[in-house]
Amino acid sequence: MSIIEAQQLSKSYKVFRKKEGLLGSIQGVFHREYKVIEAVRDVSFSIEKGEMVAFLGANGAGKTTTLKLLSGLIHPTTGEAHVLGHIPWKRENAYRRRFSLVMGQKNQLWWDLPAVESFRLHQEIYRIDKVVYDRRLDELTSLLEVKPLIRQAVRELSLGERMRMELIAALLHAPEVLLLDEPTIGLDVVSQRRVQDFLKFYQQSQQITVILTSHYMKDVQALCKRAIIISGGTLRYDGPLAELVEKFSQYKLLSLQFAGEFNADELQTYGRIIEHLPPRVKLEVPRHNLPELLSNLLARYSIEDLEVQERPLEDVIAEVFTAAKTQSTEK
Ligand SMILES: Nc1ncnc2c1ncn2[C@@H]1O[C@H](COP(=O)(O)OP(=O)(O)OP(=O)(O)O)[C@@H](O)[C@H]1O
Check whether residue 117 and residue 226 sit in a common domain.
yes
Check whether residue 207 and residue 258 sit in a common domain.
no
Cβ–ligand 1 distance for 60 under 6 Å, the answer yes
How far apart CA 144 and CA 194 sit, in angstroms, is 8
Q: With 60 as the cut, is the pLDDT of residue 167 above it?
A: yes
Kindly report the CATH number assigned to the domain that includes residue 304: 3.30.70
Any idea which of 19-28, 60-69, 271-280 has the lowest mean pLDDT? 19-28
Ligand 1 atom index nearest CA of 215:
25
Q: Percent of the chain having pLDDT more than 90?
A: 65
Q: With 80 as the cut, is the pLDDT of residue 292 above it?
A: yes
Name the residue range of residue 35's domain: 4-240
DSSP state string for 268-331: TTTSEEEEEETTEEEEEEESTTHHHHHHHHHHHS-EEEEEEEEPPHHHHHHHHHHHHHHHHHH-
Q: With 70 as the cut, is the pLDDT of residue 84 above it?
A: yes
Cβ–ligand 1 distance for 65 under 6 Å, the answer yes
Any idea which of 23-32, 50-59, 178-187, 220-229 has the lowest mean pLDDT? 23-32
Check whether residue 139 and residue 269 sit in a common domain.
no
Q: What is the mean pLDDT of residues 121-127?
A: 94
Find the helix packing angle between 241-248 and 313-330, rounded to 10°. 60
Atom 10, ligand 1: which residue's CA is nearest? Answer: 39
Q: What is the mean pLDDT of residues 154-169?
A: 94
Check whether residue 57 and residue 205 sit in a common domain.
yes
Number of domains in the chain: 2
For residue 100, being part of any structural domain is answered with: yes
Atom 13, ligand 1: which residue's CA is nearest? Answer: 39
For residue 327, being part of any structural domain is answered with: no
DSSP, res 88: G
* Distance of CA 274 from the midpoint of ligand 1 (Å): 35
Ligand 1 atom index nearest CA of 13:
4
Q: What is the ipTM of this complex?
A: 0.96
Q: What is the mean pLDDT of residues 94-112?
A: 92
For residue 331, being part of any structural domain is answered with: no
Count of beta carbons in the 10 Å neighbourhood of residue 199: 22
Q: pLDDT tens, 222-259? A: 999 999 999 889 998 999 988 887 777 888 899 999 99
Residue-level pLDDT at 327: 62
For residue 323, being part of any structural domain is answered with: no
For residue 330, being part of any structural domain is answered with: no
Q: What is the mean pLDDT of residues 248-276?
A: 88
